[in-house]
């Protein structure tokens, strides 16, 4: 089954990624690696889903927002690559959680992204990862995730 068929089976419809609002590009390629700029969770209108995990948002809700962010990252991959079949492997995930100072379950939050990548890409979705807490994130996003992907 193709990656896009798998997404359809899961009921996932990829969106056109928003254009950058500053002096950067959403994807940078060097050799067979693509580096995706940080993405955050968005609602159906394309607005960032905001709040601080541990105060406004529970760890369980943040897990879902991390999954939402993974979908946005896949949308950016598709937009850049044309075909998700070019993905050889998700190499690295760097997840940042906008959290209160006493929140310590950052890995559980970023599992939403990691679990989704494995669900969609299977073994090609297994990756190295960091999950860290931040005092704030741009636009008060609840999570921000950037990734490195090997492509053909």
Any idea where the domains of the chain sit in the sequence? 3-11+26-151
Rounded distance, CA 6 to CA 63, Å?
Answer: 21
CATH superfamily label, 3-11+26-151:
RutC-like (3.30.1330.40)
Q: Is the dihedral of CA 111, 116, 121, 123 positive or negative?
A: positive
Model pLDDT, residue 5: 95
Model pLDDT, residue 21: 83
Rounded distance, CA 117 to CA 77, Å?
Answer: 12
Q: What is the mean pLDDT of residues 7-30?
A: 93
Model pLDDT, residue 111: 98
pLDDT band at 101 (very low <50, low <70, confident <90, very high): very high
Q: What is the mean pLDDT of residues 109-134?
A: 98
The answer to whether residues 117 and 125 touch, using CB atoms and an 8 Å cutoff, is yes
The answer to whether residues 31 and 88 touch, using CB atoms and an 8 Å cutoff, is no
pTM higher than 0.95, yes or no? yes
Query: Is the per-residue pLDDT at 86 higher than 90?
Result: yes
Percent of all residues in the chain with a pLDDT value above 70, rounded to a whole number: 100
């Amino acid at each position: 089954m193709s990656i896009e068929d798998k997404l359809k089976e899961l009921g996932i419809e990829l969106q056109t990624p928003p254009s950058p609002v500053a002096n950067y590009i959403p994807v940078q390629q060097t050799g067979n690696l693509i580096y995706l700029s940080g993405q955050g969770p968005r609602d159906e209108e394309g607005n960032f889903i905001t709040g601080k995990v541990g105060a406004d948002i529970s760890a369980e809700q943040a897990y879902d927002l991390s999954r939402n962010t993974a979908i946005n990252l896949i949308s950016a991959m598709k937009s850049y690559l044309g075909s998700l079949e070019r993905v050889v492997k998700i190499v690295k995930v760097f997840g940042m959680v906008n959290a209160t100072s006493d929140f310590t379950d950052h890995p559980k939050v970023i599992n939403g992204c990691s679990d989704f990548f494995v669900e969609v890409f299977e073994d090609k979705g297994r990756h190295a990862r960091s999950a860290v807490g931040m005092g704030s994130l741009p636009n008060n996003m609840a999570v921000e995730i950037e990734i490195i992907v090997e492509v053909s």
